[in-house]
Structures are given as structure tokens and as C-alpha cells.
Amino acid sequence: MKKALVIGAAGFVGDYLIRELNDNGIVAYATKLPHEILVGEFAKVYDLDILDKEAVVNILYEIQPDYIFHLAAQSSVGVAWKNPLLTIDVNIKGSINVMDAVRDLFYKPRLLLIGSGEEYGHIKPEETPISEDNALRPGNIYAATKACQNMIGSIYSKAYDMDLMMVRAFNHIGPGQASLFVVSDFCRQVAEIEKGIREPVIKVGNLAAKRDFTDVRDVVRAYVKLIQVGEAGETYNVGSGNAQEIRQILNKVVAMSDREIRVETDPNKIRPVDVPIIEADITKLNTLTGWKPVIPVEQTIRETLDYWRMNS
């Protein structure tokens, strides 16, 4: 049986990925930061800070995984504006620690680095939907760190003949996501309004942006396919292929409630730069694996709203 290590498994995606691995008959191991909680029912769990290179090496020697999914990151665009150094440390130095630890091993596991659709940044109208070989013009600090991870990953793969693939994940959503992110944020506010613990006013940021949303369960299906059949050194977009205006997403969330809700812009939620549209071309991944997303965005929104109705 194959063994997979999920680094940074206590975040949003980790739990879903571990379940997908289990469903595919792959034995799962997972790492989390010491202060985090991860129910270890479906994976053997280790504490790991990726800024500690020696600790990364020790865990790899102990587990000797066939597959490694590198999810650990500072993953919020908003937080990156407020804390660039932390974002650079975790997303660049931390990723290089992981790549170096894998490079020094006595065997060649397959490594999947998770990047972002944000790497494309300022996309020209004729470039959308955007494909993997397009120029990268990151529009924010988070995006720049992920573009850097991708470039270094590509260099390592060629220079050291590593079995390493990269994805650019577009916006993924679902129950359990932190309310730092837009769908979860809107759903949480609506759930709190319904419970009477918040005034009937929803606070929003830039509603004109268009983003490409995919259910997290579809996303982890793509990751597990890619680690098995992805080509070393290659980058793959993982998204839906259809961007939606954030205003449309807001309308869908609000329409799922029977309350009268007023919309108000919160200046703190407006970012210094917010690129107008990010939409994936998923032909490369679809051609290689046959993958396409199957869960409609309305279902994901409804389940996320129900999650917050139970958890706020």
C-alpha cells in the first residue's frame, strides 16, 4: 500500500485530503503545528513547523512516504498584506525546507506543491481563462510568495531531477473553511444574523471582483489524481473554469436566508490591490486525468451556511 504524508493538515483542506486518500486505499500520515488540533482517526499525526528544516528531515526519514502533499502555508491574501514577513517565511523559506529535505532523501518520493491561481495576478482580457504557461504578474504579497514557490519548484525539479509537481489552486470553498475567506465569511455573518447575535447587516469588501470557485472535495480529488499521474516539473491549474462576481456569490448566500439583510461596505475589507478577474483554464488537468469538478457552487454555499448555522 502507498503511504502519503500531508504537511499542514490541520488547515481547511487537510481533513478533506486525508479522507480522499483513505477512500483511494492510500495510508495517510499528517503534520500539524503543535498548537493545532487534528483528530487523528484517519491518519497518524505528527507535530511539525516547516521552518524547522531538521524536523522536516526527521519526519520524512521516519515515515518514508511515497507521496508528499505540501499544504502548509500562510494562505490568506488579506493577512499577507498585514504580515508580509510571516507570509514570506512560511510560504517561501518553509517550502524550500520541504524541497531540500525531499532532495536529500535516499529515495525519490513524489511531491505536490500547492500554489495559487493568484499567481497570475494582473490578467489581460484576452488571457482569460488563463492557462499554465501564461506570464505571472502577481498583484499581492501572498501571490508573489506562491509564484516564487512555483519558480523554485520548477528549478529544483529540473536541476535535481526531483519527482515534483505543482498546482495552482483557484478559490476552494466548503464547510469548515475559516471565515477569513469570502464564502465562509458571508455564510457566517448570515448564520449569526439568523441567530440574532448580529444586526441584520452584512459587511462586505470588493463585490466587483470575479473569482473561480470550486468545492474543496472536488479539489482534493484532483490532488490525489495528480500525485499519482502528474508529470514531474509540470504545473496544473485546479479550478472550475468559470469565474463568478463576488456580488453574485453574496446574492446566492443572502437568498438562502428568510431574513431581510442590508449590505454595507467595510473599508477594512477593501484590499490595496484586488485584481478584477481570475479564471482557470483546466484543459491541461482534464486532458491528463479526466478530472472536472462535479459539485455545484450552490450546494457548497448551502452546506457552508448550514455549517455556520451549527457552529456559530
Q: Which residues bind ligand GDD (CB under 6 A)?
A: 75, 77-78, 116-118, 169-171, 180-182, 185, 204-207, 209, 211, 246, 269, 271, 274, 278
User: Measured at the alpha carbon of residue 226, what is the angle toward residues 51 and 177, in degrees to the nearest 5?
Assistant: 60
Spatial CA neighbour of 113 closest among 53, 163, 57: 163
Q: How many residues bind ligand A2R (CB under 6 A)?
A: 22
d(C-alpha 219, C-alpha 167), whole Å: 11
Mapping DSSP to helix (H, G, I), strand (E, B) and coil, where does residue 191 land?
helix
Stretch of 11-19, 104-112, 249-257, 269-277 lying at the interface with ligand A2R (CB under 6 A): 11-19
Candidate list 8, 139, 175, 239; residue touching ligand A2R; CB under 6 A? 8
Q: How far is the CB of 12 from ligand A2R (least distance, A)?
A: 4
Contact 204, 266 (CB under 8 A): yes
d(C-alpha 45, C-alpha 52), whole Å: 17
Neighbours of 272 (CB within 10 A): 8
Stretch of 65-73, 121-129, 271-279, 280-288 lying at the interface with ligand A2R (CB under 6 A): 65-73
Q: How far is the CB of 50 from ligand GDD (least distance, A)?
A: 16
Stretch of 47-55, 182-190, 203-211, 302-310 lying at the interface with ligand A2R (CB under 6 A): 47-55
> Toward ligand GDD, which CB reaches closer, 150 or 171?
171
**Is residue 167 within a helix (H) or strand (E), and if so which, with residue range?**
strand 164-169
Q: How far is the CB of 75 from ligand A2R (least distance, A)?
A: 3
Q: How far is the CB of 41 from ligand GDD (least distance, A)?
A: 26
Under the binding rule (CB under 6 A), the answer on residue 79 touching ligand A2R is no
d(C-alpha 146, C-alpha 170), whole Å: 12
Neighbours of 55 (CB within 10 A): 17
Of ligand GDD, ligand A2R, none, which one sits near residue 49, judging by CB under 5 to 8 A according to partner kind?
A: ligand A2R
* Torsion sign, CA atoms 214, 217, 220, 225: negative
Stretch of 43-51, 132-140, 188-196, 239-247 lying at the interface with ligand A2R (CB under 6 A): 43-51
**DSSP letters along 83-120, please?**
-HHHHHIIIIIIHHHHHHHHHTSSS--EEEEEEEGGGG
Mapping DSSP to helix (H, G, I), strand (E, B) and coil, where does residue 115 land?
strand
Spatial CA neighbour of 143 closest among 305, 255, 278: 278
Q: How far is the CB of 265 from ligand A2R (least distance, A)?
A: 25
d(C-alpha 76, C-alpha 3), whole Å: 29
> Toward ligand GDD, which CB reaches closer, 46 or 142?
142
Under the binding rule (CB under 6 A), the answer on residue 277 touching ligand A2R is no
Under the binding rule (CB under 6 A), the answer on residue 117 touching ligand A2R is no
- Contact residues: ligand A2R, CB under 6 A: 8, 10-14, 33, 36, 48-51, 71-75, 90, 94, 114, 116, 169
